[in-house]
């Protein structure tokens, strides 16, 4: 560490601070000698010297000699202090590694901030959302993105990847080789698109909340509210309607998803939910369960709906729709056929 305070105060013209004097002498020494001296400065002192060099006033030769004599070191007269910033950069490059020079001069500040932003902004996201987005990509691309994510978040995303793909992606990540700058740039562009999609999803929190509220209501009530909302804003209806899933919407589900949904729903709940339901809806549900359970439910329904508790019906239907929404969020089922989902989007 250099002692700036003990470096004298002799000056001609505007007074030079100790840091100004240190910068002037280093500039005058030339790269080889000055580079060797850099190891005696702390990081903070080097940054102060760089700032001083960039704003250093013109120093007459005789004043520079006095400064050099104070250092009791080699002085090369006429070194030229005109391009101070460029010369200081050369001195730094002589005595420090390229990364250290870049860090001191702030060359990579913008790039590093960009790099940090891309990967670390993801860790506050929903792992389910990110995994769904990644599954649209090639497994090798997924492996690279996982390798760049913060480890704790990457682990959460990996757990959301379907098991049949997980081993392949892990294997690719383990054996990942250096990615060319061009390929990395393409992948980072896709990650930026993912971030933008994530931001759009976050910005739709209002429509998500309204949809959640409407999912607690009966179809007639929802239809009335949407009709009322449409008189105020058609765009708002378009944002909310695709996110609403009512018991009647089971008709729009793919058969495979219906089977998965009703696989763990008890017969009593299914029976209550089907009380008063249209024939088409009843058939869609009953065709999704086993033959034995179907016969039992059909027998119960045949008794009629005269003494049905409508509150129990509403609760049963709501429990089924909530389970459907949960499974869809986990990527285990689809709430709509692919063609309908694309049309809604």
- Among 107, 132, 151, the domain-final residue is 107
Taking 80 as the threshold, does the pLDDT of residue 341 lie above it? no
Distance separating the N- and C-terminal Cα atoms of the chain: 64
* C-alpha to C-alpha distance for 324 and 258, rounded to whole angstroms: 9
Are 250 and 180 contained in the same domain? no
For residue 298, the domain's CATH number is 1.10.220.30
pLDDT tens digits for 270-305? 999 999 889 999 999 999 999 999 999 999 888 876
- With beta carbons less than 8 A apart as the criterion, state whether 253 and 336 touch: yes
Banded model confidence at residue 112, pLDDT cuts 50, 70, 90? very low
Domain limits for position 269? 245-344
Are 92 and 117 contained in the same domain? no
Would you state the pLDDT for residue 287?
94
Answer whether residue 333 is part of any domain: yes
Are 95 and 153 contained in the same domain? no
Which of 74, 87, 76, 72 lies closest to 31, judged by CA?
A: 87
- Among 146, 174, 203, the domain-final residue is 203
- Report the pLDDT averaged over residues 104-113: 48
Answer whether residue 235 is part of any domain: no
Which of 301, 298, 269 lies closest to 286, judged by CA?
A: 298
Are 127 and 142 contained in the same domain? yes
- Among 203, 233, 259, the domain-final residue is 203
Answer whether residue 316 is part of any domain: yes
In this structure, what DSSP letter does residue 307 have?
T
Answer whether residue 193 is part of any domain: yes
Count of the separate structural domains present in the chain: 3
Answer whether residue 124 is part of any domain: yes
pLDDT tens digits for 5-31? 444 444 445 677 777 777 777 777 666
- Report the pLDDT averaged over residues 187-193: 82
Banded model confidence at residue 68, pLDDT cuts 50, 70, 90? low
Which alpha helices (H) appear in 79-180, and where do they start and end? 84-95, 98-105, 109-120, 127-134, 139-148, 151-160, 163-174
Would you state the pLDDT for residue 289?
93
Segment (H or E) for 249 = none
* C-alpha to C-alpha distance for 216 and 314, rounded to whole angstroms: 9
Instruction: Tokens 């190891």: give the residue.
Output: 39
Are 170 and 84 contained in the same domain? no
Answer whether residue 229 is part of any domain: no
* C-alpha to C-alpha distance for 153 and 12, rounded to whole angstroms: 60
Q: How far from 190 is each of 36, 65, 110, 175, 248, CA to CA, in Å?
A: 45, 59, 20, 22, 37
Answer whether residue 221 is part of any domain: no
Would you state the pLDDT for residue 336?
81
Are 165 and 196 contained in the same domain? yes
pTM (2 decimals)?
A: 0.40
Are 199 and 282 contained in the same domain? no
């Amino acid at each position: 560490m250099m002692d700036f305070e003990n470096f004298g105060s002799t000056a001609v013209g505007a007074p030079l601070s100790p840091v100004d004097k240190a910068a002037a002498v280093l500039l005058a020494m030339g790269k080889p000698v000055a580079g060797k001296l850099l190891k005696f400065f702390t990081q903070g002192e080097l940054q102060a010297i760089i700032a001083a060099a960039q704003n250093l006033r013109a120093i007459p030769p005789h004043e520079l000699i006095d400064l050099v004599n104070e250092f009791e070191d080699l002085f090369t007269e006429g070194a030229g202090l005109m391009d101070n910033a460029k010369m200081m950069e050369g001195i730094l490059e002589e005595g420090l590694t390229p990364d250290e020079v870049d860090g001191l001069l702030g060359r990579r500040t913008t790039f590093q901030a960009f790099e940090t932003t891309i990967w670390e902004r993801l860790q506050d996201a929903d792992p389910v959302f990110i995994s769904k987005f990644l599954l649209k990509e090639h497994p090798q691309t997924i492996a690279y993105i996982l390798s760049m994510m913060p480890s704790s978040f990457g682990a959460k995303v990996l757990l959301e990847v379907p098991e049949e793909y997980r081993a392949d992606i892990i294997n690719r990540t383990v054996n990942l080789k250096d990615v060319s700058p061009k390929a990395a740039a393409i992948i980072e562009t896709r990650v930026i698109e993912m971030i933008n999609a994530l931001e759009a999803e976050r910005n739709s929190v209002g429509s998500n909340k309204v949809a959640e509220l409407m999912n607690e209501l009966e179809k007639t009530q929802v239809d009335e509210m949407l009709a009322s909302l449409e008189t105020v804003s058609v765009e708002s209806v378009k944002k909310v309607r695709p996110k609403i899933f009512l018991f009647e919407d089971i008709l729009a589900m793919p058969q495979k998803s219906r089977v998965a949904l009703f696989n763990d729903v008890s017969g009593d709940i299914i029976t209550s939910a089907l009380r008063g339901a249209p024939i088409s809806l009843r058939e869609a549900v009953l065709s999704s369960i086993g033959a034995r359970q179907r016969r039992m439910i059909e027998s119960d329904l045949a008794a009629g709906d005269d003494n049905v508790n409508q509150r129990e019906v509403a609760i049963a239907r709501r429990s089924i729709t909530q389970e459907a929404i949960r499974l869809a969020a986990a990527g285990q089922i689809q709430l709509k056929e692919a063609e309908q989902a694309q049309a809604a989007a």
